[in-house]
Structure 1
Amino acid sequence: MTGKSDKEILANSMYEDDPNGNSAPTTINQESGQPAAQEAATGGATTIPAATSPRWGPQNKGAQELASLYSPGKRAQEIICVYTCIGLMIINLALIVKHLRWERISVAFLSALCGVITADFASGLVHWAADTWGSVDLPLIGKNFLRPFREHHLDPTSITRHDFVETNGDNFMVGIPILGYLAHYFYSKSPCEIQQNFGWIAYVFLCSIFVAMTNQIHKWSHTYWGLPRWVLLLQSCHIILPRKHHRIHHVAPHETYFCITTGWLNWPLEKLRFWSTCEFIIERVTGLKPRDDDMKWAKKLT
């Protein structure tokens, strides 16, 4: 599926059975290549410590430094964006229900499905760009937008300790202009024009909803208990990003499976070598090294 075996994924990603702490020292069995926690769960052989400090988790020095950069100004921006976006979601949903006609159901469904696929690709594009390029030291975007991506690779389950606002503020910000335009469209067009373009409306709306909810879906993929049954059902049906599927991305150096809304496009994009080809072209043209800043933070182990 990705060129990596199940053993490699288990040995080099966060532990399935160490959910929200995710800070145990890395101890790899020299025969199986599995972490100690995995061997203990299955009655495996004695492990040999590979490191005495956490490989990742909340005690990692880099993770702590990155978490400390979360500022009051950033918090205020996220609160404003969350409440504004939720208000626009409610307004647009009410307007869609008002104008929905039975004969437009099939068109709306197909358009909405295309919207979900678009959102999945957009999540991958943004995720890949933020993971691969740029630095936390960049003005404005570094500490405000790239910082969470660096922190997430050092402390993958930190996202489960973020509240709704911190988790979703940036993605909800992206949805505001799109949903704002859609609401304006409803009020500026005639009912006839709205019906003619109802498929486009369904596409834009569901794409916006899934874009806005991407990081919440991402958070659920790192949450191992307390999830509502309907979330578990959506994950098991792969309507939203499943936990096991996303774990593939968390194999260092985090170079694949970037789509985190549904994850539907991860396999075909991997087969096409889409991300690696983009990285090759950018490196040849600019001389920039992919994930250079990410690797710098990963070296801060103690």
Structure 2
Amino acid sequence: MTTLLQLTFAGLSMGAVYALISLGWTVLFQVARIYNLAQGAFVVVSAMTYISLVGDLGWPVPLAVGGALAVCLALGLLLYGVILNPRTARGEAGPIVMSLGSALVIAETLRYVWGVDARTAPAFLPTGTIRILGATAVPHALLLWTGTAVMFGAAWVMFHRTVLGKALRACSEDATGARVVGIDPHRMRLAAFTIAALFGAVGGILLAPLIAVSPHEVLPLGIFGFIGAAVGRWRYLPAAAGSVILGLVTGYVGGYGATAWQDAVLYGSVIVALLTVRQRRPGQRPLLRGRVRAGRRDPVPVSGPAGP
């Protein structure tokens, strides 16, 4: 029982990171209709930046967190300009190819800057362990779980209670209708990239003191986030549940079987997700439950070509 609980704690830690990545995938797909294979770059860049600022330069933790977030937000703006560039990313496959190329370029850049070795951040919480029903957990793991829950709560508030969230939901339901009523889809796509970068950056900062991070994880982390988002039918709460289950399954496989099988399970999940999950079609359930409301009335559906 103790071993099962210990593996559960480890699986929850990785599942929490996968969940934050899958949320970025979900927002980008619903608003921009793209698959961003560079989504894992936000986690790795944030973690490596935070590790350098705290461990190498000796910055205080709050300033290091702010610096890592700023770097990831800048990266999100850069990827927005690269992946959705109309001159290069044409057709449905264009953004996918550009995101894959971006992920590879970012990984190689990180290897050049920080080397190939995995690194971890200095602990800023007590380094002792907490015993829970015979198993042990470190304070950073509890912070990671709590931080992930807080970020998903913040996402719910944003999507349901803010003007930006309603505009994002409107674009996810009908970009043409949103444009007609005064919502700029281009700005919403930019906002989606910014949100995806923010969630990935938080995941990297929370992960850095707990698990060693290396540049070669840029593409794998993006794929693992895709699995959670695809299993969750591109809705953020089911995507979070799918990501946590993925983390638990891989933890159990590595604990009771062999660690060599973990990658087989992860990448095999990609095949299962692609074979069993269908893309959302117009008229099906959007990013979040409920309809976008202006005041207390639902917007009137608008059809026809977009205005100027």
**Same topology, TM > 0.5:** no
Higher CA-based Rg: 1
Higher relative contact order (CA 8 A, sep 6+): 2
For normalisation by structure 1, the TM-score amounts to: 0.30
More helix by share: 2
